[in-house]
Amino acid sequence: MRPFDYLRANALDDAASKAGDGAQFIAGGTNLLDLMKLQVMTPETVIDINNIDGLDKIEPHEGGLKIGTLVRNADLAADPQVRRAYPVLSRALLAGASSQIRNKATTGGNLLQRTRCPYFYDPAMACNKRDPSAGCAAKGGVSRMLAILGTSAACRAAHPSDMAVAMRALDARVEILGTDGATRTVALDELYQLPGETPEIETCLEPGEIITAVILPAPQPNATQSYRKIRDRASYAFALVSVAALVEMDGETIKTASLAFGGIGARPWADAQVNAMLEGEPPSEELFGRAADVLLADAVTDEGNDFKREMTRRALVAVMREATGMAPASTGTDKVEALT
C-alpha cells in the first residue's frame, strides 16, 4: 500500500473543506481498503467521515424513509420499518456479502462500491476504468461476471450491488451535499453514469460531493415484494443475475410492476418499457416471456456470458409467477426422483 494522509472529519462542512484533488472519503472501507492494498486506487488523502453526527439514522420522511449514508448494511436489513414496509430491500441486503462485511459496510459506500471485474483489480491488466484509454483486457477474456446491458466498447463491467438493485425497484432517490453547501437529490439512474467512452466516470458526483442519505418513497402496502439472486455459490458471491420486484395485483390483473435487475447491467438495471407492458395485463407465462424479450433486446453477450440471457428470462418469469400468485413452474424434480 502506498503512503497516504489520514484525516478525520467531524462535520459535513469539515469533510467538504478537507476534500481536494487526490482525496477519498472513507466510511466502512470494505471496498476502498482492498483497492488501496492492490494499488488500484491510490488516494493521497483519506478522509474518515464516520464521526459525522446524524448520518447513521433511519427516519420517517414524507411518508417514506430517509436512510443516512452511514447506516450499516446489517442495521438497515434488520430495521423493523424496513423489514415491514420494504422487505425487498432487507432481503437484497442479506443476500449481499458476508455478515462481517454487512456489519461494517455503509449505505453510501454500498452505492459507490466499484465493479468486481477481475481485470479492474489487476493493475498488470489493461483497464479503461482504472487507467483511461489503456484498453480493456476483458475483451476476449473471462466474461462470466460481466454485464450484458448498458455496456460499451470501452467497458463491459457490471455493477455489483444487491442493495442498489432493490433501491432501484423502489424508486429510491439519493441525497447529495455539494461543496457549496447546497443539497440535491437524484434518481439512481442519474447517479450512475453508463460507461460510454469514459468508463472511469461512474457517477454524477463532483469532487468533494458527499452522498448524505437515500430516500425511499412511501411504501406500497398492497404490493408483493421479492428479491431473487442467482450466483455461483450460496453465500458471499456476487450475482450472476438478480431480480428485485414490487408487484401489485388488482384482482386477476397486474396493477403495478416495478422490476430491477442485478448482475446484468452496467448499473442497477430497470426498464420502464418492461414495467409498462406488464401493467394492466393478466399474468401469464407468455406475457412474462415477452417482457424478457423487451428487457434483453439490446443485450450484448459473448460466449462466456451468453447464458445470462436465458438465466435472466427464467429469473424474471419465476419472480413474476411468484409475485402474481401463479403456481410455480414444474421443476421436474418428481421425474428425477422417480429415476433414481
Q: Which residues bind ligand SF4 (CB under 6 A)?
A: 115, 117, 119-120, 127-129, 136-138, 155-157, 199
| Residue 11 to residue 292: CA distance in whole angstroms | 46
The residue (of 157 and 170) whose beta carbon lies closer to ligand SF4 is 157
Cell output for 76: 438497515
Contacts for 240 with CB less than 8 Å, ≥ 6 apart: 144, 145, 230, 231, 232, 263, 308, 311
Min. distance of Cβ 199 from ligand SF4 in angstroms? Answer: 5
Neighbours of 138 (CB within 10 A): 25
Min. distance of Cβ 192 from ligand SF4 in angstroms? Answer: 14
Please say whether the beta carbons of 18 and 7 come within 8 A.
yes
Please say whether the beta carbons of 258 and 287 come within 8 A.
no
DSSP-derived secondary structure letter, 136: B
The residue (of 46 and 136) whose beta carbon lies closer to ligand SF4 is 136
Min. distance of Cβ 159 from ligand SF4 in angstroms? Answer: 11
Placement of cell 459473448 in the chain = 302
Min. distance of Cβ 81 from ligand SF4 in angstroms? Answer: 36
Min. distance of Cβ 151 from ligand SF4 in angstroms? Answer: 8
The residue (of 47 and 146) whose beta carbon lies closer to ligand SF4 is 146
Min. distance of Cβ 196 from ligand SF4 in angstroms? Answer: 12
- For residue 67, give the H/E element and its range: strand 64-68
The residue (of 93 and 266) whose beta carbon lies closer to ligand SF4 is 266
Q: 3-class DSSP state for residue 186?
A: strand
| Residue 52 to residue 50: CA distance in whole angstroms | 6
Placement of cell 437524484 in the chain = 186
Q: Helix crossing, 307-323 with 285-295: angle to 10°? A: 140
Dihedral, CA of residue 255, residue 261, residue 266 and residue 272, to nearest 10: -10
Min. distance of Cβ 41 from ligand SF4 in angstroms? Answer: 13
DSSP-derived secondary structure letter, 43: -
The residue (of 228 and 308) whose beta carbon lies closer to ligand SF4 is 308
| Residue 91 to residue 99: CA distance in whole angstroms | 13
The residue (of 127 and 167) whose beta carbon lies closer to ligand SF4 is 127
The residue (of 157 and 292) whose beta carbon lies closer to ligand SF4 is 157
Min. distance of Cβ 167 from ligand SF4 in angstroms? Answer: 23
The residue (of 116 and 255) whose beta carbon lies closer to ligand SF4 is 116
Q: Which amino acid is at 276?
A: A
